[in-house]
């Protein structure tokens, strides 16, 4: 019997842990054989991580008593109340709109609409998704840096080097490809002896020069980013600010120097 075809629905099932156990091996083979679907899976995973981080402070809050009363049907009915099915439909449309449209409409939460902030958001989402993964945080191990950087360079259209951050106490774990807005970004992960992890996110960007720091309104990792020389780069981690700045500058200088050698 031939293996069944998988779809977008199966990607969601897999990310939610609801894909049947006996289908997971075939699903993983299908995912590896379909780069577009794998990129979509990574994008969905990153979006999920960003949403979880955004609402981390309220997800565990108890349901207010007044709402519990309404749900249980114990409250007095109000004239012309919105039918429950309309509220469910509205919520479904919001979720179906995806993280991209949701973030684009946010205001007052530390999420700007310019390309720098969007790049930083994607870098943080990728970091949250893969830096905490103990089983497979990277696709290609960092032991063969020439192969790793060649593979990442080919897929992103950039000339990449893996910054040497050993003086800062960090060792390269490896790298992977992650989705960006209409492009493919490289994500390189590093760890120190204490288990702290930082990531270097690089994507082909415009020539406009800019730099800054970005943190989601709900807290979490900080992204130190630059855009210059055709690179968009964000170093993400939870180090103290001064240390984070030092590591980020060191990584960025090496990335630019590596590009200048070609």
**First-to-last CA distance in the chain?**
51
Answer yes or no: are the C-beta atoms of 199 and 130 closer than 8 Å.
Answer: yes
d(CA 241, CA 243): 6
For residue 84, the model assigns a pLDDT of 45
d(CA 243, CA 256): 20
Answer yes or no: are the C-beta atoms of 3 and 26 closer than 8 Å.
Answer: yes
d(CA 3, CA 30): 9
Ordered domains of the chain (ranges, CATH) = 112-260 (3.30.200.100)
User: pLDDT, tens digit, for every residue of 193-218?
Assistant: 999 999 999 998 766 778 899 998 88
User: pLDDT, tens digit, for every residue of 171-181?
Assistant: 999 999 998 87
Answer yes or no: are the C-beta atoms of 79 and 155 closer than 8 Å.
Answer: no
Answer yes or no: are the C-beta atoms of 228 and 202 closer than 8 Å.
Answer: no
pLDDT-derived band of residue 42, with 50, 70 and 90 as boundaries?
confident
Residue with tokens 């995912």: 31
User: pLDDT, tens digit, for every residue of 78-137?
Assistant: 444 445 445 444 444 444 444 443 333 333 233 334 566 788 999 999 999 999 888 889
């Amino acid at each position: 019997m031939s293996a069944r075809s998988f779809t977008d629905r199966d990607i969601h099932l897999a990310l939610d842990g609801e894909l049947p156990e006996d289908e997971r091996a075939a699903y993983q083979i299908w995912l590896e054989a379909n780069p577009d679907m794998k990129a979509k899976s990574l994008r969905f995973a990153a979006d999920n991580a960003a949403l979880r981080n955004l609402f981390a402070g309220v997800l565990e809050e108890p349901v207010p008593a007044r709402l519990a009363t309404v749900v249980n049907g114990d409250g007095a009915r109000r004239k012309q109340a919105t039918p429950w099915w309309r509220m469910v439909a509205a919520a479904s449309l919001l979720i179906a709109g995806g993280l991209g449209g949701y973030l684009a409409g946010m205001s007052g939460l530390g999420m700007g609409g310019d390309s720098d902030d969007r790049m930083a958001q994607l870098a943080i989402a990728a970091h949250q998704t893969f830096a905490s993964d103990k089983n497979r945080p990277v696709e290609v191990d960092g032991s063969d840096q020439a192969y790793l950087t060649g593979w990442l360079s080919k897929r992103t259209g950039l000339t990449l080097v893996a910054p040497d951050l050993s003086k800062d106490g960090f060792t390269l774990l490896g790298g992977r490809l992650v989705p960006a807005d209409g492009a493919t970004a490289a994500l390189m992960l590093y760890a120190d002896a204490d288990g702290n992890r930082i990531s270097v996110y690089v994507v082909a960007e415009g020539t406009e020069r800019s730099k800054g720091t970005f943190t989601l309104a709900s807290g979490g990792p900080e992204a130190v980013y630059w855009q210059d020389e055709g690179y968009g780069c964000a170093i993400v981690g939870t180090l103290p600010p001064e240390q984070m700045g030092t590591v980020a500058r060191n990584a960025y200088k090496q990335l630019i120097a590596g590009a200048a050698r070609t």
